[in-house]
Structures are given as C-alpha cells and as structure tokens.
Amino acid sequence: MNKNEFMKELSRNLSNVPEEEKQDISTDYDEYFVIGIEQGRSEENIALSLGEPKTIAKQLRANYMIEKAQSTKSSRNIGRAVIAGVGLGFFNIILLGPFIAIVGILIGLYATAFGFTIGGIGIVLGTFLKPIFPQYISMGVNWIISIAIGIGLSSAGSLMFIGCKHLSKWLYKETIKYLKTNIKIINGKEEQNHERI
C-alpha cells in the first residue's frame, strides 16, 4: 500500500470526526511519510509500519469520541464513546452487556425515585382535596398520617434522585477512565507491533 492509498483509506474510515480534526490527522500521517522517505524508506514500508488504516481510524475515532464525552457531558456523547470503544476489541464487546445492565438499573432507580416523589405529592394533595371531592378520593387513614406518608415518600424519592445523580456522575467518570485506559493498552500493543517491524 502506497501513501495515497493509505491516506485515502484512513480518511474514508474517519467517519463522525469533524473535518478540522481529519485535516490534523492527515497532516500528522503525511509527516510520518515525509520523515520516512527522508530516511530512505519506501512508502509501502512506512505504510506497513504504521499499521492498518482502518484500525488506526477506529482508535482515532474512539479517542475523539472519548475526548468529546469528557468535555461535553451528555448521554449521547458517552453512548457514542462506548460504541466507538466497543469497536476496538473483543473484550469490550464482553463488557458491553454488563454496562447496558448497569445503565438499565440506573434508569430503573431514576424511575423509582420519580414514582416515589410523584406518589408522595399525590398523597398530600389527595389529603387536602378529599373534603372538596369526597366522592372521588377515599382514604382509610387519618389526615395527619396521610400527610406524613406523602411527605415521607416525596422525601425518599428526592433523596433517591440525588443518589442516582451522584451514581450517574460516577458511572460517567469511570466509563471515560476505562475507555482511556483501554485505548492506552491498545496503543501500547500497536507500538510494540511497530517496533517488531
């Protein structure tokens, strides 16, 4: 594979990366070829030592997605970073299942917190609206107990929501940390392969 073929393949596989970032990457790899040629190496030898453009593009795309998720926190960005990370290796595919399970549990906890909060508010409102609409609202407990239960449920839901928020931040941070570590490991293996060639 010569320089033109390498650069075309690399560019083609850098989807979801902004044009400005692609230009920087192209400039860097162009520089590798210039330096290699100055050292008397052939374009084919340089391309071989750099590795497969498709693999390089996957790593660069994953790196970009991770940096984007770290700088702009959103579920969309972390989702894209995880998907890009999964494309880097089989081990990541294995970890995708537990990650999805943890996210599912977290969504369930948020839903429970929301249900407790709304349920508590509903009980308190129902207690106050019972005298106005006795035909629609029936409560078999004293109004003081009813209000206490409502406030207790709302408080439990609010505390649960705060806990879920902290858990979400922790999971986000740990996911970014894992993906960065994974890329370092993969890059280390790639560098070892380059040194052997």
Residue with the larger pLDDT of the pair 93 and 66:
66
Cα 189–chain centre separation:
24
* C-alpha of 73 from chain center: 9
The whole-angstrom separation of Cα 61 and Cα 139 is: 59
* Domain-embedded: residue 7: no
Q: How far does Cα 135 stand from its chain's mean position?
A: 50
The token pair at 182 is: 């994974």
Tell me, yes or no, whether 37 lies in a domain: no
Identify whether 142 is part of a domain. Answer: yes
* Total number of domains constituting the chain: 1
Residue holding tokens 């948020």? 110
Place of tokens 């999964």: 86
Q: What is the pLDDT of residue 90?
A: 60
- Residue at 24 is within a domain: no
Q: What number is the average pLDDT over the span 164-183?
A: 87
- At 80-96, the pLDDT tens digits run 788 777 766 666 677 77
Is residue 33 one of the residues assigned to a domain?
A: no
Take residue 60 and report the two structure tokens written for it. 């660069």
pLDDT at res. 81: 82
Whether residue 155 is contained in a domain is answered as yes
Question: Domain containing 113: what range?
Answer: 51-196
With contact defined as beta carbons under 8 Å apart, do 68 and 47 qualify? no
Tell whether 18 is covered by a domain.
Answer: no
Residue pLDDT, tens place only, 30-40: 888 888 889 89
Residue 149 in any domain: the answer is yes
Q: Please provide the average confidence, as pLDDT, over all residues in the chain.
A: 84
